[in-house]
Chains A and B, each alone.
Chain A
Amino acid sequence: MNSIRKINMKKLILPLIMLGMPGLLNAATAATELEGGFKIGPAIILITILCVFVMVGVIFRAKDTTDFYAAGRSISRTGSGMAIASNWMSAASFLGMAALMYGSGYHGLAYVVGWTGGYVLLLILMAGQIRKYGKYTAADFIGDRYYSQSLRATGAIIAILISISYCVGQFAGIGLMFQWILGLDFTWSVIIGGAVVLTYTLISGMLGVTKNMQIQYIIIIVSFLIPLFILTFKFDYFWVLPQIGYGSVVSDITNGIPAASELMNSMGHEFAITASPEYSMPWDIATGKTFFQWMAIAFSLMIGTAGLPHVIQRFYVVPKASDARWSVVWGLFFICILYWSAPVYSAFGKILSASPEVGKLSKDAIVVYTAQLGNVHPLIVGLLAAGGVSAAFSTVSGLLVAGASAFSHDLYVKVINPEASPSKQLRMARLGTVLMAIIVTMIAMLKLALISQLVAVAFSLAGCTIFPLFLLGIWWSGSNRQGAIAGLIAGGFISLLSISYFVCDKMGISLPFSEFMTYYLGAWYFAWIGAPLAILVNILVSKITPETPIEIRKFLIEKVHS
């Protein structure tokens, strides 16, 4: 059956690629502009990739609710690892990571460390146990473990909020890349991109999404790596392993490169830069970032990683707990390939855009600009941009499924209508997906903040709310409903406080102690205090309130820790 599917897929995909090739070749030079204009070569690559996504979604479409939520629990360790990586490698990783280092040097590495180090926590504290618990969604776990329908509903709402916050960043990335490739208005770019990702998520559910994610991972990583080999080769660095070869680029930025060589960027500027140690030195004053912020961001992102519903949900799609564990190892390895590579773009980007004549470039698109300034072939730049869209798509699809699951499974079926038939459940899941996509599109069109900023808010929110509930729920049977509610209130309060200050600051409204609050409770890292506080409050309240019911404790011992 699988081989027939593969053959059918080839039959569908190959003609599309063949149709696109002449256009690609003829239009190669149209992609050389840094800004503006419709770039036909990259556009054809992007459209081809999107067609592949939709077809894969159709071929592997969900047949029932088990397929929709958990892909029939039939995905292999490596496959699930690739799906984890693809799901994880969003526009924030693909575009935003290099943007952060381009904009703030060593400070950006706090995000690299935070977004990878969290997987260690996720694995050793949660992955296997979550799979053994055997629930579909994060809210399912919270509702069952803390024997509370209201906590289930709250968990579902938080999961939806996190998914929306995360999705908005991705839609912004999609908008940016569509704008670059198609020369469209940002608003239309977001609407078109959102419509496509919604279409195949609706058709396929998670089974199709998981298959898509494996394909997306390949596209993302190949499109990301090819320009790196070209850049390091062209500019005479160790190109066999650019992830190591760029060490000399970082040192060259630190010490300066004289304008003596014949190497040029695409605008005719020498490959040269004045000595700029601020790029590589830790928490340099010139970047405006501090030691505290580095530590707080790294910690918050790590805690947030272990609390993100759409990441946690991936463990439900593997057959066994050991598969869940190994899928994290594979997932982290696949993620690290991209994370080792992202700083290369920022380092080359810094030198290639060092001349004031290049002007101010959009940081979120620096990956693409670097390839362009480095004279990489326009079609490869097009593939890179399509990879950026693919990264955003892969994450959005997972987030929409997680959000839809929270809406239909945790809110509708478990709280509103427990008698709902499987077909009704599937309809509600699809309705949830549509609603989420519409809300996200509307917020994304407001252009509230940078991609990585919006995404980092989701991490801190997850770290303050979901992470403490999972951590204590799995590892301490003493944590009870009252403790969970109190902890959630504490974590939620810190989150609300930080986000309120952030929003007011954006709107120009001055609140008391604004400077203090925005520094110590920054919207990207408020979990550094929110998560420990939520855990502490949960423990204290649990200690002074009635014990967790025996059935829950039995379940934890006999099923989760057996």
Chain B
Amino acid sequence: MNNENNYHISFFKPTTDRAKYNRNMVIWLIGIWTVAIFGFHILLRVIEKPTPEPQLIAFNEVWENVKSNNASNDEIKTFANSALHVAGKVFINTEHRAALDNGISWATMQLADSSQKVALTSAIANFETATENAQAITDANYIQAKKELGALSIAVLGLNPDEVLAKILSLELRSSGIEKITDENISIIETCMPHYTIHNRSVLTDTKFLGFPFHYFYSAVFLLILFIGLCWLYCYRVDKYNEKIGIAD
């Protein structure tokens, strides 16, 4: 050790048994760590398939007719349901929601008979006024106007009052959108429907584990357990080895 050239430290070229032991352990642990994090996600990426929701399939079947104003009532209803489904999604963009609202309002009005049309137009206008004037959603006028609009509109679309779409329908209707779907909004609807309804799915996302989608459980729960396990293993083995060769910190 008196030779100056002996004073070199390199992780990959250990000179003592202890350093070799440490290097091998670190390589193993980092290998497991890398495969567990990046390997799993590369696998997730490789096997995933863009999978459309049923609402998109239904939308695609009727959209051309809706767009060209040749749709039957059933087709308009299908369109309204699909659009409403997307408008109620958790990550909806404000501009996209406004375009969908235009589509939903127009479709609802198309499905209404003449007496319903008058009542709906008035109910939408009342609800908009009540929304403007309300200080909170507990405001009595607001609640009443919403209730009236809800009752009228869900009957027109044939929704079950207990389903989620029925609960949000009155909030999506706009008096500015009842006449027609604007060209700009047609273009936005075309773009945003697949945007929200195609998802990267695979066996890893569709398998359930402890109630979770498997991949979600893996990243949110299992990886953290693995990290603690790897750390514990390292400390335990280093202590054991140090004990074995009689080294104290």
| Chain A residues in the interface with B (C-beta under 8 A) | 105-106, 109, 112-113, 116-117, 119-121, 123-125, 128, 132, 238, 243-245, 247-248, 250-251, 253-254, 256-260, 267-270, 272-287, 291, 294-295, 298-299, 320-323, 325-326, 328-329, 332-333, 336, 339-340, 343, 350, 354-357, 475-478, 550, 553-554, 556-557, 560-561
Contacts and interface: CB of A to CB of B under 8 A. Distances in A.
B3 to A, nearest CB: 11
A326 B196 contact: no
B220 A282 contact: no
A475 B216 contact: no
Contacts of A128: 238, 249
A272 to B, nearest CB: 5
A119 B220 contact: no
Contacts of B219: 106, 109, 112-113
A248 B211 contact: yes
Interface in B67-120: 85, 88-91
B164 A120 contact: no
A278 B196 contact: yes
A254 B231 CA distance: 34
B7 A117 contact: no
A539 to B, nearest CB: 11
Given A244-B221, A281-B201, A475 B235 contact: no
Q: Which of A258, A281, A354 has the most chain B CB within a 10 Å cutoff?
A: A281
Contact of A356 (B168, B227, B242): B168
A243 B33 CA distance: 22
B224 A339 contact: yes
Q: Which of B89, B220, B225 has the most CB of A within 10 A?
A: B220
Contact of B168 (A325, A343, A355): A355
Interface of B: 4, 7-11, 19, 25-26, 29-30, 33, 37-38, 41, 44-45, 48, 53, 85, 88-91, 137-138, 162-168, 171-172, 195-196, 198-201, 205, 208-213, 215-217, 219-221, 223-225, 227-228, 230-232, 234-235, 238-239, 242, 249
Contact of B234 (A123, A243, A323, A561): A123
Nearest to B33: A120
> Which secondary structure dominates where chain A touches chain B?
helix
A81 to B, nearest CB: 11
Given A120-B231, A298-B37, A475-B10, A282 B162 contact: no
A561 B2 CA distance: 17
Contacts of B225: 336
Given A276-B89, A325-B234, A333-B228, A109 B164 contact: no
Contacts of A326: 235
A329 B195 contact: no
27 contacts: A109-B219, A112-B224, A113-B223, A117-B223, A119-B231, A124-B30, A124-B231, A250-B212, A251-B208, A259-B163, A260-B162, A268-B137, A280-B213, A280-B216, A285-B198, A286-B195, A295-B38, A295-B41, A326-B235, A328-B235, A329-B228, A329-B232, A336-B227, A343-B220, A355-B167, A477-B9, A553-B7
Nearest to B192: A286
A332 B231 contact: yes
A561 B53 contact: no
B208 to A, nearest CB: 7
A258 B162 CA distance: 8
Contacts of A557: 7, 9
A259 B167 contact: yes
Contact of B53 (A117, A275, A550, A560): A275
A528 to B, nearest CB: 11
A26 to B, nearest CB: 23
Contacts of A285: 195-196, 198
Contacts of A258: 162-164
Contacts of A123: 231, 234-235
Contact of B220 (A257, A273, A340, A478): A340
B195 A325 contact: no
Contacts of A116: 223-224, 227
Given A285-B198, A477-B9, A553-B8, A247 B231 contact: no
A477 B8 contact: yes
B8, B38, B162, B216, most chain A CB atoms within 10 A: B216
Nearest to A249: B211
A279 B92 CA distance: 11
Given A248-B211, A267-B137, A475 B231 contact: no
A21 to B, nearest CB: 31
Contact of B91 (A256, A278, A339): A278
A132 B247 CA distance: 14
A175 B48 CA distance: 42
Contacts of B211: 238, 244-245, 247-248, 250-251
A525 B228 CA distance: 24
A184 B201 CA distance: 46
Q: Give the interface centre of B30, B90, B212, B235 by most chain A CB atoms within 10 Å.
A: B90
> Which of A286, A299, A339, A475 lies at the interface centre, i.e. has the most chain B CB atoms within 10 A of its CB?
A286
Contacts of B10: 475-478
A108 B185 CA distance: 31
A274 B164 contact: yes
B90 A276 contact: yes
A356 B8 CA distance: 65
Contact of A286 (B91, B213, B215, B232): B91
Contacts of B234: 123-124, 325
Given A251-B208, A326-B235, A477-B9, A357 B137 contact: yes
Contacts of A251: 208, 211-213
Given A320-B249, A326-B235, A553 B9 contact: yes
A155 B122 CA distance: 69
A293 B52 CA distance: 23
Nearest to B8: A477
Which of B165, B212, B217 has the most A CB atoms < 10 Å from its CB? B212
A555 to B, nearest CB: 9
Interface centre among B9, B88, B205 (most CB of A within 10 A): B9
